[in-house]
Amino acid sequence: MWKWVVVALISFFCLAPLLWGLKVSIAPQYDTSLIPRRFTSEHYRYIFSRPEFFQYLKNSVVVSLGTVAFALPLSLLGGYALARFNFPGKQFSFLFLVFPLLPLIAVLVPLVSFLNRLGLYNKLSALIVVNTVFNLPLTVWMLRNFIMEVPAEIEEAALVDGCSRIEALLRISVPLMIPGLVAATVFIFITTWNNYLYASALITKPSLRVLPQGILAFIGTWGTYWGGLTAAGIVTIIPPLTLFLLFQRWFIAGLFGQMLK
Amino acid sequence: MRKLLLVGLFLLGCYLMSVAHAQVTIRVAHFYDPAAGPAHQMNLKWLEKVKEGFEKANPGIKVEFEWIKWDELDLKSLRDFRAGISHDVIYSSPQYYGLHSVAKDLLDLSPYIEKWSKETLEDFTWSPVWTSAFPWGIPLGIHTRTIVYRRDLYEKVGLDPNKTPENLEELVEYSKKLTQDTDGDGKTDIYGLGMYFGPSRATIELYFAPYLWHFDGELWDKETKKATFASEAGIKAAQFLFDLIYTHKVTPEWSMSGTYDDVILLSFLGEKLAQAEGYGSYWIGPLEEKGWIKGLFPPTPEGQALIADVYPTPTKYKAQFTNAWNISIHALSEHPDESFKFIEYMIQPELLYEYPDAGLPVRLSLWDRPEFKTPFYQKWQIAARNGRPMPPTAHYGDLADTVAACLQEIFAAKAPIPETLKKFEDEYNSKFAGE
């Protein structure tokens, strides 16, 4: 009984902000009551009436999918190298897990300066590069664990049958570690989709702005347009939420390095 | 061979001509997002109009917009300066000028301003926002605050809505009368005086500093570069605010939570407050939307305050915070002259008159227009004249956060006022004094 009470409390604690956001997004502006006196779709209509919102959406999709396209193969190859090969310094590979703990703000100025010199400032490709780099440590480690669960003997048999290393990886191991790849994909997509810091540092061109920048603009110098902010927030969580719900089973298994039975 | 030479010379000529006629592009960094609400759209439309007019008047100069979130503009300017990324024209906030003057990421505009006529200069220097802007920026409008009040509630409790408080004693007395338990359940339904003490810059700027200044104190000492808010004046200011909540019970306890616009704007429009202090000139529009004023947003000569009205906070002269969005030039700009040309174009009276952001004109000559002669706008003008900026410390953000945290401890935990102010002041000074 107590178990369920605790679960209900934790669920309420997690869901309350979302429910509150939903309530504000469908209540008239300046309605501060707990239950709205009337419902309105004005905030949703407002954001969908703005072509810029679709532009931000498009840019976010490009950056998130672009990052997945770059980061996933690199993570796979990195993870494979860590799982299968012996090389000097391999014992320090646990440092991959330390790298994400680095406060990103501390490296922001040199990072921006470096990307500017590369001619990537104010380009969506800059966001793809940076998100790829900062996602890699965790996803390489995630995929390393998965590859280690695939028996090396199967690959060796494929090598004996004439497969190259890459073919053995792609034809034999990859099909066996789909949950890991899905987990890594969802992880990369969600962290990139939600990232604001890199975009705020690297993008000032209005046409290249991404969703988190667009959402935060609702918090204005004259006050916050809560209706628009929450409506945009609700719309923004739909893609990652859908992705998570669709691949929930694989994602959770992937995070804990478990193969699905 | 000769043919080849001729072709080469022809191509070189074309190249040189194209270079000579090349357009200069200046980038103008602002914070207006067309997807983020009607106010943003109005301001962006104005900027686009300025751009269009400027490009027509200056065919050799092209304008490109950059977008930076409003509360990151100054930090981005500083960060990009360090990273070697240039901007040209950039919006800036006077609260960060202490930091900008140390970092030198904004251009000193004195050499340009020196060329202005006396009339132009005087049209700007009448208001305190000029002193807070120069030499790093030029103000585009005025953001000032008043106390907004309900004329109907004044009448209901037997107060004359045309006679507003003139000193702090009257302010408390009026607020007590206006505090109402309308349904008789023993709980206050309408508070007499709304204030905001949340974890935000508004707390120091609009609610603590004005009273500290009123009691002749200072937040920060220019000479010693130390925080001085724990002075006798600071104690009096904190005590006055504490008494509003706990002794007079005219200010709600929930003033410590939420956001500035929740607690002030939404609560006033939601009829939970009879008066609200720190009501910004940027919120005149919502009063018109609510039907509480008529013909005042946008201003017209016939404009009238119906249900809601305003009056300048009855603190001493120059004991109110007033600020502005300023326009500056980034120190790494490759086209400072063209950038200043754009700024000069932007601040022409006819264009500034239409600038929607601040609501109040920064050029004195614009106040002569009949739409600003209404009693409602005259009160805003008094408030605009009666202002002062925040101290020019490079650590203003830390000072503001320290004071907000200090007041939260005093109000929420009922901590002893002198000791708590001293504790926070010492904490701030141990980190930042002398810098």
Residues A76, A80, A83, CA angle at the centre, nearest 5°?
140
Q: Tokens 């009040």: give the residue.
A: B149
To the nearest whole Å, the CA of A25 is away from the closest chain B CA by 14
* CB proximity A121 to B under 8 Å: yes
State the average pLDDT over residues B359-384.
95
B211: pLDDT confidence band, cut at 50, 70 and 90? very high
**Cα-to-chain-centroid distance, residue B122:** 21
- Choosing among B85, B93, B268, which should be mutated to test the A contact, i.e. which has the most A CBs within 10 A? B85
| Cβ pair A112:B325 closer than 8 A | no
> How many inter-chain contacts (A to B, CB under 8 Å) are there?
99
- The tens digit of pLDDT for each residue in A158-211 reads 999 999 999 999 999 999 888 889 999 999 999 999 999 999 999 999 999 999
Lowest mean per-residue pLDDT among A250-254, B74-78, B274-278, B388-392: A250-254
Backbone phi, then psi, for B298, in 5-degree steps?
-70, 155
Q: Please state the pTM of the whole predicted model.
A: 0.86
| Cβ pair A109:B31 closer than 8 A | no
To the nearest whole Å, the CA of A238 is away from the closest chain B CA by 19
The DSSP H or E segment spanning B43 is helix B38-57
The DSSP H or E segment spanning B26 is strand B24-30
- Nearest chain A residue to B286 by CA distance is A30
**B16: pLDDT strictly greater than 70:** no
The DSSP H or E segment spanning B107 is none
Residues A249, A252, A258, CA angle at the centre, nearest 5°?
95
Cβ-based contacts of A46 with chain B (< 8 Å): 37
| Cβ pair B69:A205 closer than 8 A | no
Q: Are B145 and B206 in contact (CB under 8 A)?
A: yes
SS3 state at B7:
helix
Average pLDDT in chain B: 93
To the nearest whole Å, the CA of B169 is away from the closest chain A CA by 30
Distance CA B405, CA B399 (A): 10
Joined tokens for residue B100: 């900008």
B4: pLDDT confidence band, cut at 50, 70 and 90? low
To the nearest whole Å, the CA of B420 is away from the closest chain A CA by 30
| Cβ pair A224:B265 closer than 8 A | no
Distance CA A229, CA B262 (A): 14
State the average pLDDT over residues B245-265.
93
State the average pLDDT over residues B69-94.
95
Q: Are B143 and B358 in contact (CB under 8 A)?
A: yes
Q: What is the ipTM of this complex?
A: 0.84
**Nearest one of A81, A63, A236, A80 to A135, comparing CA atoms:** A63
Question: Largest alpha-carbon pair distance within chain A?
Answer: 72
Q: What is the DSSP string of A146-193?
A: HHHHS-HHHHHHHHHTT--HHHIIIIIIHHHTHHHHHHHHHHHHHHHH
**B150: pLDDT strictly greater than 80:** yes
Distance CA B60, CA B24 (A): 6
- Choosing among A222, A225, A229, A235, which should be mutated to test the B contact, i.e. which has the most B CBs within 10 A? A222
Residue B324 has a pLDDT of 94
The DSSP H or E segment spanning B326 is strand B326-329
Give the residue, A194 or B357, on which the prediction is more confident: A194
Which residues, given as ranges, of chain A have pLDDT below 70? 30, 32, 254-261
Question: How many C-beta neighbours within 10 Å does residue A13 have?
Answer: 9
To the nearest whole Å, the CA of A81 is away from the closest chain B CA by 35
Cβ-based contacts of A213 with chain B (< 8 Å): 67, 69
Residue B12 has a pLDDT of 66
- The tens digit of pLDDT for each residue in B90-145 reads 999 999 999 999 999 999 999 999 999 999 999 999 999 999 999 999 999 999 99
